Structure formats: C-alpha cells, structure tokens
Amino acid sequence: MDEMLVAGVPPEGVRVGGLAVAAQRAADLLRAQKGTIAVLDATTGGLIQAMLQAVPRSSRFFLGGMTIYSRQAALQLPRELREKLGTPQENYASPPAYWVSKQVFTDELSSYISSQFSSTWSVAESGAVDPAGLPEQLRGAGAFTSVTVRGPGVHVSRLYRVEGCTREEAMVRFAIAALALLAEALESKPLGKL
C-alpha cells in the first residue's frame, strides 16, 4: 500500500457542480480505458456513487456500490472481513488509532467491493465529518476521511482532513477528493494497459 498522506481538500468546488465535474473527469477516464468501477461510500453517504451514476450512460462503467455508515450496516459484511478491521478497543483508543482503523477499513473494503461487483476499479471511503459527534477521546481526529483506490496494478490510499466547514461541506469535499484520487489513479495507467 502506498504511504498514507494527509492533505487538505481545497474549498473551491464545494458544491454539487464541483462534484459533477470531478465525477465526469473520472467517468471519461474509465470510459477511455474501458474500465468498470464499484464504490463503497461511508462518510460521504453515497455521494460518490450518486455522482458517478449521474453521468450520462454510467451503466457502461458504474457497476454499483454500497453505503456503510452505521455499525448495523457493517454487521452485514462477512465475518472474516469484519475480523480484519480490528476491535473497537483498538480502533477507538486515540485519534491516530482511529485514522489507522479507517485506513485499514478502506483498504480491505476496496478489495471486497471490487470482488463483489467484478469491477476493474474500486473506491472505498470512510472517516468522520463531524468531530463533535465523536466520543470525547476521538474528537482530536477532526473531520477526515481515508480513501483507497484499486485498479489493475494500482493501489493508492490517502488520508484527507478539512477544518472549519459544515458537515455537508465536509461530505462534498471528501467526495470530490475521492473522485480526484480515482482520476489520478486512472491517469497513472496508460490507455490499453488494463
């Protein structure tokens, strides 16, 4: 796995229009490579999936996805997969432990979602958009998300943090970041080299 990076998400484009532009860019690259994609949203609440599906003729590349936002939803994952994700005691011990747990989550789930849909590419995203809603010991983690993209010969993960924005703005910024990372990964694969 690539080194996890901490990066800010730029405030420009924090609106549905910015999301649409990011989704269109990723869609164009997927089409050019004749690739397909499956998505796992968590913190973004399905925005990544929705924006890819909003691209005309998306059924040619977007195979589907899952939104796992609650503990109840995570319990629907296979037991062997859940066991790889760590225990609450480990994952919630500190802000750095929480970040790592989300990196493990997106790494494992990017592989899982790709296998479930037999896609050539996958994106998995998970984090926290409202630090005030976290248990007290985790509030220092701030608003963040981990994004993992997998494709033929590509496996990249990044950790993104934002400050001073609303819950909704954080969700949109994180969806834009995930779509931008997908586009970056797709651009790293020469045409015809799937």
For 134-182, what is each residue's pLDDT tens digit? 999 999 999 999 999 999 999 999 999 998 889 999 999 999 999 999 9
pLDDT interval class at 17 (50, 70, 90): confident
Q: List, in sequence order, every residue forming a beta bridge with 128; answer none if it has no partner.
A: 144
Q: Residue 2 pLDDT > 50, yes or no?
A: no
> Reading across the β-sheet that carries 6-8, which strands appear in turn?
6-8, 154-162, 143-151, 121-128, 37-41, 62-67
Longest dimension (CA), the chain: 49
Instruction: For residue 103, report the phi and psi dihedrals to the nearest 5 degrees.
Output: -65, -40
Distance between CA atoms of 174 and 184, rounded to whole angstroms? Answer: 15
pLDDT of residue 82: 85
Instruction: For residue 145, report the phi and psi dihedrals to the nearest 5 degrees.
Output: -150, 150
pTM of the model: 0.89
Residue with tokens 């045409």: 191
pLDDT of residue 16: 55
**Which run of H or E residues covers position 31?**
helix 16-32
pLDDT in tens, 43-96: 999 999 999 999 999 999 999 999 998 888 888 888 888 888 888 889 999 999
Neighbours of 82 (CB within 10 A): 13
193: which DSSP letter? -
